[in-house]
């Protein structure tokens, strides 16, 4: 089978399928190759099913506060397997929606494994047998994603030592778990499993949980997890893991301390990802790689003419919305639509544990290191009327501004629905608005969003309710 298209995309995750739709909207004939499921890891085994599980955990935790809300429960049981089943249905529904979008936009989808065979040519080993050769008149986009990184010398066995994908396949939560990695994935599973009764220990090599977040945010999350009896070992290096029939043993050495052996039913390793760049014909096609990551410029072009790369395989930011944004940039560049390059400092970052964490831009420490005249505005959710009504008023909003012109340099939120509050600040950051302009914008009462305005006022020492 030999077919000609304007654009061929390898990978149908949130980068690949979005690039396909945008290219089709711009008049290109598009073919997309996906070896497993449309939607990639995000829709099938990442962002979406985990958020469904997190919602279940939220409901379970809320029911645990029944006395606060004036009702009582007898015989309540939380069925984790039902929560997992719901998460699969949510994911499946979205995947079917992506397939419908492919048909709507006349995008030709090939199920199989794609490789760059020659300039402008992709060879596909079809899943149902046989081979197809797709010719790209204009360009090829590599959107092959990434996979969980294992501890050195220790492979995932899917039972005792698992990655996030394995965790989403569990029909029952582990009775006890060691989570290696205190980043977003590790903290989200620690939250879910603890809510369902697991004894959880989080091991993080760096000095604090969520180490890429602002230090005050990390401290707030650590306090919240400590109240829930989740043990956190920070500045701790994993020296070895032993899997046995009855569980796992993880040897950990804290900075300046003795070695300790932790025991649990399961160890979840969430220490980052590695690129899916092997066996794609990239180097043979002249594409430059750096430790396996595909090097791209601001318009997603690789070192090889006519070949672009987007998403996790580029190593920029391993987030679904980054992949989608890169996909649109690449499609618009290929179609000659002169795209706006991405500002990675303005891209939102979210962690959906409880309390939720949301951020963008520079932390306070980063802003000071860069020499900015830093002004900080903080406002807690404690006096916020909506937060009090929700029964969830922990956390705060922290805005980092440049004192010379009031530009928003960074935003750091921890607390109720923090991830839903971030878009206003992302828009302000992208539009170059000052914190004074955020403060002057009237926010409805009572809303959680009032905390954003209060934090903006606080930059100038003028918060009303503090």
- pLDDT confidence of residue 116: 96
- pLDDT confidence of residue 18: 98
Q: Is the pTM of this model over 0.75?
A: yes
- pLDDT confidence of residue 153: 81
Q: Which residues of the chain have pLDDT under 50?
A: none
* Chosen CATH of 161-271 out of 2.40.50.180, 3.50.50.60, 3.90.1150.10, 3.20.10.10: 3.50.50.60
Strand order in the sheet with 236-244: 236-244, 247-254, 259-264
Q: State whether residue 327 is helix, strand or coil.
A: helix
- pLDDT confidence of residue 38: 95
What are the φ/ψ torsions at residue 179 (nearest 5 degrees)? -100, 115
- Give the active site residues: 445
Tokens 């979005």 belong to residue: 18
Q: Where are the domains of the chain?
A: 2-147+274-334, 161-271, 355-458
- pLDDT confidence of residue 244: 83
Q: Which positions ≥6 away from 322 have C-beta within 8 Å? A: 311, 316, 342, 344, 347
Bridge partners, 275 (sequence order): 146
2-147+274-334 and 355-458 agree in CATH topology: no
Fold classification of 355-458 (topology level): Enolase-like; domain 1 (3.30.390)
Contact 133, 238 (CB under 8 A): no
- pLDDT confidence of residue 257: 83
- pLDDT confidence of residue 154: 83
- pLDDT confidence of residue 273: 96
**What is the DSSP annotation of 236-282?**
EEEEEEEEETTEEEEEEEETTS-EEEEEESEEEE-S-EEE--TTSST
CA 83/CA 145 separation, integer angstroms: 27
What's the CATH superfamily of 2-147+274-334? FAD/NAD(P)-binding domain (3.50.50.60)
Looking only at the bridges linking them, the beta strands covering 273-275 and 231-233 are unpaired
CA 314/CA 309 separation, integer angstroms: 7
């Amino acid at each position: 089978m030999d077919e000609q298209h304007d654009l061929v995309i390898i990978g149908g995750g949130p980068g690949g399928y979005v690039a396909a739709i945008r290219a089709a909207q711009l008049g290109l004939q598009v073919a997309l190759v996906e070896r497993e499921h449309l939607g990639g890891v995000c829709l099938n085994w990442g962002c979406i099913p985990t958020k469904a599980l997190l919602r279940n955990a939220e409901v379970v935790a809320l029911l645990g506060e029944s006395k606060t809300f004036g009702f009582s429960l007898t015989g309540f049981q939380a069925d984790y397997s039902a929560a997992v089943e719901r998460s699969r249905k949510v994911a499946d529904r979205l995947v079917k929606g992506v397939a419908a979008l492919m048909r709507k936009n006349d995008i030709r989808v090939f199920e199989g494994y794609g490789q760059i065979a020659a300039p402008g040519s992709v060879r596909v080993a079809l899943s149902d047998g046989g081979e197809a050769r797709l010719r790209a008149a204009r360009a090829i986009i590599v959107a092959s994603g990434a996979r969980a990184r294992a501890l050195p010398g220790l492979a995932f066995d899917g039972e005792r030592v698992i990655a996030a994908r394995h965790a989403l396949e569990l029909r029952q939560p582990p009775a006890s778990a060691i989570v290696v990695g205190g980043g977003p994935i590790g903290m989200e599973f620690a939250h879910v499993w603890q809510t369902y009764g697991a004894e959880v220990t989080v091991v993080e090599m760096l000095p604090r949980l969520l180490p890429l977040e602002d230090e005050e945010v990390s401290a707030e999350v650590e306090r919240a997890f400590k109240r829930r009896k989740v043990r956190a070992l920070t500045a701790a290096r994993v020296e070895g893991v032993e899997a046995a029939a009855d569980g796992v043993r993880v040897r950990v050495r804290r900075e300046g301390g003795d070695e300790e052996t932790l025991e649990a039913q399961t160890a979840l390793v969430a220490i980052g990802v590695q690129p899916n760049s092997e066996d794609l014909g990239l180097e043979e096609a002249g594409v430059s790689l750096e430790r396996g990551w595909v090097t791209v410029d601001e318009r997603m072009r690789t070192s090889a003419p006519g070949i672009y790369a987007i998403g996790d395989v580029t190593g920029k930011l391993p987030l679904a919305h980054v992949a989608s944004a890169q996909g649109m940039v690449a499609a618009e560049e290929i179609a000659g639509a002169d795209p706006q390059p991405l500002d990675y400092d303005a891209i939102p970052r979210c962690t959906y544990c409880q309390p939720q964490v949301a951020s963008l831009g520079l932390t306070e420490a980063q802003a000071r290191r860069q020499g900015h005249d830093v002004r900080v505005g903080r406002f807690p959710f404690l006096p916020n009327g909506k937060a009090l009504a929700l029964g969830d008023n922990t956390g705060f909003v922290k805005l980092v501004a440049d004192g010379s012109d009031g530009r928003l340099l960074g935003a750091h939120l921890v607390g109720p629905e923090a991830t839903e509050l971030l878009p206003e600040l992302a828009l302000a950051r992208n539009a170059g608005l000052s914190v004074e302009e955020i403060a002057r914008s009237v926010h409805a009462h009572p809303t959680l969003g009032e905390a954003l305005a209060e934090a903006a006022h606080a930059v100038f020492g003028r918060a009303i309710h503090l």
